[in-house]
Amino acid sequence: MFKRKPKLHNYQSRGYQPFGRGWRGYQKKIRIYDERRQTLRRIPWYFVGLVIFAFLIKGGFHLLEKRMLSASADHTVSIYVPEVTPLDHNSIQAILPIARFNNLDTKIFDFKRDNHSYQIHTSLNMTLQKGIMNALDTRHANRIGIIVMEPDTGRILAMVSHDDDDPHSNACLKADLPAASIFKIVTATAALEAGGLEYQSRMAFNGGKFTLYRNQLVDQENQYTNYTSLKDSFAESINPVFGKLGKNLLGKSLLENYAHAYLFNCDIEFDLPAEQSFLEISDKPFNLAEIASGFNRTTTISPLHAAMIAGMVANGGKLVKPSIVDVASQDHKTVYRRQAGALSQAIRPLTTESLQKLMNATITSGTARNQFVGISTDPILSRLDMGGKTGSINNNRRQIRYDWFAGYASNPDGSEKIAVGIIVAHKEYIGKRAATYFREIVSRYFENIN
């Protein structure tokens, strides 16, 4: 049987090909198909361009309408809204209610002054602040001042005060109590930087560690001479060693210069009025030894200043401006923001590395070792870098025992640091010591941030 031949279209029956015959027709066919594919691919981009164009047109009309309304409003009524003048440091200090900062139990508070309403945002860590307030042993203390700050920023994290004689004052800002051996930090700095000593330098002394007599200041060595290092002299607060450093090595000018670098006899720029720490050195050689060792009642310091000094050791030698106000608003408009800044490079960074060794020895083998028993197994304290300096002296009538601690603590990587200044004026019985407060503060702070 024969198969039926398929029916051809007219143009096929006449030999017609839609793209031409042969190789040229084939190439034309490929070009046409490519153009169609390219057109299909461009369609989404055409759509995106159309949408953008529509938004531009709409935005232009909106802007034009806004300008027309503004122009219309300008021709009808003019409303003047006064700007709030930003406050500088002196201005913010002038308006702050100083008494409100005594033992604050809230991070933010409001007050009114001169027909204006103000809101103050403090830098306080309320967990730390309330923890310290609840842990105060006021029964055996005439005065307690505890201040905690961030060494890198100067922000105050806690400020707690107790004063039997003047309940409305802030013990953290008063500089009327003897600095005692806290001043040994200044003397040690001068000995390391200007005196050519190192932390392991060999030191010699005769007599008791905690006395200071003229015959102990003579550079002599005999069968009764005791030998130690600068680090151990600092840790154990050996008065004859530091008396000899002041009288025989450093001299009046050097001690005064380093004390000034540490802001003694200088105003402390702070949000609240803070008293100057006081130093005076006479031309008498024995007085120079008294000052250098801290064995006197004339050199004074505040807990705020003590915390700044400890913070400087933890901060590579930089004294940082302290602050307790982060933000202040007047009539619901921000008028003040804290501006951090270093006051000065008080000492060289390399010197602080040696000072840290001295201050660490204070808590591991020195005068504060009893308050830090067991830190090697403590889950929090064992992983921290810590250091400090104690200071203690009686008042003239021996009714009050002044007990100081200035210290710092930080994570080994430097991610978190605190510096602390503490004064406890014990009554007839010795209550909780300043170094004990420091240990509790460090434990509480680093427990809550990890």
Identity at 169, one-letter amino acid code: S
DSSP bridge partners of 148: 158, 420
Tokens of 303: 């807990």
DSSP bridge partners of 394: 401
- b/e 124-136 (16+ beta carbons within 10 angstroms → b): bbeebbbbbbeeb
3-state helix, strand, coil in the chain (%, to 5): 40, 20, 40
Q: Using CB atoms within 10 A of its CB, is residue 380 exposed (0-12), middle (13-18) or buried (19+)? A: middle
Beta strand 141-149 with 156-163: parallel, antiparallel or unpaired? antiparallel
Report pLDDT for 52: 64
Of 214, 234, 120, 189, nearest to 351 by C-alpha is 189
Of 231, 235, 233, 199, nearest to 216 by C-alpha is 233
DSSP tag of 323: B
Beta strand 318-320 with 177-178: parallel, antiparallel or unpaired? unpaired
Sheet holding 417-426, edge to edge: 156-163, 141-149, 417-426, 401-410, 385-394
Report pLDDT for 29: 62
Within 145-284, residue ranges assigned H as helices are: 184-193, 230-235, 239-244, 251-261
C-alpha to C-alpha distance for 273 and 286, rounded to whole angstroms: 34
pTM above 0.85, yes or no: no
DSSP tag of 269: -
C-alpha to C-alpha distance for 291 and 297, rounded to whole angstroms: 9
DSSP tag of 86: P
Report pLDDT for 86: 86
- b/e 36-68 (16+ beta carbons within 10 angstroms → b): eeeeeeeeeeeeeeeeeeeeeeeeeeeeeeeee
Mean pLDDT by 10 residues, the chain (450 residues): 46 47 59 63 63 56 45 38 67 91 96 94 97 96 98 96 95 98 98 97 97 95 96 98 98 97 95 97 96 98 98 94 95 91 86 98 98 95 97 90 98 93 96 98 89
Identity at 363, one-letter amino acid code: I
Report pLDDT for 37: 62
Q: Which helix (H) or strand (E) holds 93?
A: helix 89-95
388 CB contacts (<8 Å, ≥6 apart)? 310, 359, 362, 363, 368, 405, 406, 407, 408, 435, 438
Of 149, 152, 154, nearest to 418 by C-alpha is 149
Of 363, 425, 390, 437, nearest to 182 by C-alpha is 390
217 CB contacts (<8 Å, ≥6 apart)? 240, 243, 244, 247, 248, 285, 286, 289
Q: Using CB atoms within 10 A of its CB, is residue 373 exposed (0-12), middle (13-18) or buried (19+)? A: exposed
> How far is the CA of 11 from the CAs of 5, 17, 25, 439, in angstroms?
16, 8, 16, 104
Q: Which helix (H) or strand (E) holds 226?
A: strand 226-229
Q: Taking a C-beta distance cutoff of 8 angstroms, is the pair 312, 319 a contact?
A: yes
- Write the DSSP assignment of 240-252 as a string of letters: HHHHHIIIIIIHH
C-alpha to C-alpha distance for 297 and 394, rounded to whole angstroms: 9
Report pLDDT for 27: 59
C-alpha to C-alpha distance for 145 and 165, rounded to whole angstroms: 13
